[in-house]
Amino acid sequence: MAQVTSAADRAGSSAGRRPAARVRATVFGLDVHSEIALSLLGGSTAKPTGRALEISVHGTDAAQFEWPRPAELVSDDHQPDGSLIFQIEAHSEAGYLISGPDYGAHWLSASGRLLRCAPEGLPDDAWQRLLIAQVLPFAALLQGLEVFHASAVIHRGEAVAFLGPSRAGKTSLALELCRRGASFLADDVLALELRAEGLLAHPGTPIAGVAHEAGRSSGPDEFALEEIIAINTRERLVRMAGATEPAPLAALFFLDRRADGPPHPHFEPAADAQMLLTATFNFVLATPERLRGLLDVCARAARLRVERILVGPAMDACELGAAVEQRLSSTT
C-alpha cells in the first residue's frame, strides 16, 4: 500500500498543480476537498466523516496526467450505435483512469484518496456528471464503503432504498416521496457503511438525474419543488435539499416494471439473496477484501425489510409513491 500511495502522491505533485484544497463537501461518505468550486456538489450539507478525498483539476487534457502504460481496460460502456460513453482503465500502482469523450478524464489513486480531473474544456454539467455518477462512488468503494445501484430517501428517521435496473423509476419514486414529506438521501448510487449495529446509509450528492420519459402525470409543475440546474438530451439534473447526516437503513424495495405487470403496485417478499448481490453499483473492483465486504453488507441487508414491487409499464410515480408511503406506514 505504501508503494501505491507513493505513486499517487508523485502524480498529485506534478507540475501545474494548483494551490491546496479550498472547497469541501461531504458526499458518499467522503469528505471531498477541491481546489475549485464543484457546481454539482453545491448545496451539500452532510457532516464530515473523516474519509478524505483530495481533488485537483487540470483544465486542458488528460495527456498532462502522464498516466502510465501499459494499463488494463477493465470496463467500458457504449451507446446503442457503438460510440463510447466512458471506460475504466486500471494500473496496479497508479489506480484507475475513468474517461469518456463527453465527460473528460479522471485519475483516481488506488487508495481512493487522491483524484485528478481533466475537464478538457467541457461544461461543469458534463465532466462533473461523470464525477458524481461514477468516480466518487468508486472512491467510496476504495475507502471501504459499499455502493449499490439505488436511490434513497429518509422516512421517519430511517433510510429506504429503491433498487432496480435503469429506467425502472427509482429516481422518480424517490422524488415523489420527497414531495410527500420524506427527505432526499441519494440518487442512483447509495453508499453503505457496515457497522456493528447495522447498515448506515450516507447522503449522496444533492443532485437527481431525471430521465425525460420519467416522472409524474400531473402536469407541467412536476419539477416545481426542485431547482433544475441543467438539461441535456437524456435527463434533467435537479438540485435537491440533501440530508445532513447518514441514516440507518431500514428497508429495500426492488422495482420490477414489466410489460405484463399488474395495474396497481403489488408488493411481495424478495427472498432471493442474489438480487442484493447483483444490485452492486461497481463490478470492476473484485479483490478478495472487497468481495468479502460485499457479502457481509448483503447478508446484513437481507435481515431488513426487503420487498419486490411489481408494477406495469404505465404506472406513474404519483400512484407508486402513494402505495409505497402506505406500505411503509403498515406493520406487515
- Domain regions of the chain by residue span: 2-143, 147-329
Opening angle at CA 151, ends 224 and 214, nearest 5: 50
Q: How far apart are CA 49 and CA 193, in angstroms?
A: 11
Q: Which residue has the cell 421517519?
A: 156
Quickly count: other Cβ atoms within 10 Å of residue 159's Cβ: 28
Q: Is 214 helix (H, G, I), strand (E, B) or coil?
A: coil
Convert 296-327 to b/e letters by CB count within 10 Å (16 or more is b): ebbebbeebbbbbbbbeeebbbbbbbebbeeb
What nine digits make up the cell of 226?
A: 426542485
pLDDT value of position 62: 63
* Residue ranges with strand state E in the chain: 23-27, 30-34, 52-57, 72-78, 84-91, 95-100, 104-108, 114-118, 146-155, 158-163, 183-186, 189-195, 198-202, 207-211, 227-231, 235-239, 247-257, 266-269, 305-311
CA 83 to chain CA mean position, Å:
23
Find the distance separating the first CA and the last CA of the chain, reported in whole Å: 48
Q: Are 163 and 256 in contact (CB under 8 A)?
A: no
User: What is each CA distance from 74 to 34, 153, 250, 288, in whole angstroms?
Assistant: 27, 32, 34, 17
* Residue pLDDT tens, the chain, 332 long: 223 333 444 444 443 444 444 679 999 999 999 989 899 998 899 999 999 999 999 866 666 678 998 899 999 999 999 999 999 999 999 999 999 999 999 999 999 999 999 999 899 999 999 999 999 999 999 999 999 999 999 999 999 999 988 878 899 999 999 999 999 999 999 999 999 999 999 999 999 988 776 544 443 344 444 688 888 777 888 899 989 999 999 999 999 999 999 999 999 998 677 889 999 999 999 999 999 999 999 999 999 999 999 999 888 899 999 999 999 988 54
Q: Which three cell numbers stand for residue 60?
A: 486542458
Cα–Cα distances in angstroms (integers) from residue 242 to residues 31, 113, 149, 218, 239, in the given order = 15, 23, 18, 24, 9
> Domain 147-329 carries which CATH code?
3.40.50
Question: What pTM value is reported for the model?
Answer: 0.88
56: number of Cβ within 10 Å: 23
Residue 207's nearest CA partner among 127, 128, 108 is: 128
What are the beta bridge partners of residue 231?
Answer: 236
Residue 168 CB partners (closer than 8 Å, separation 6+): 255, 256, 257
User: Alpha-carbon distance 305 to 308, whole Å?
Assistant: 10
Please state, in angstroms and rounded to a whole number, the distance separating the CA atoms of residues 245 and 29: 9
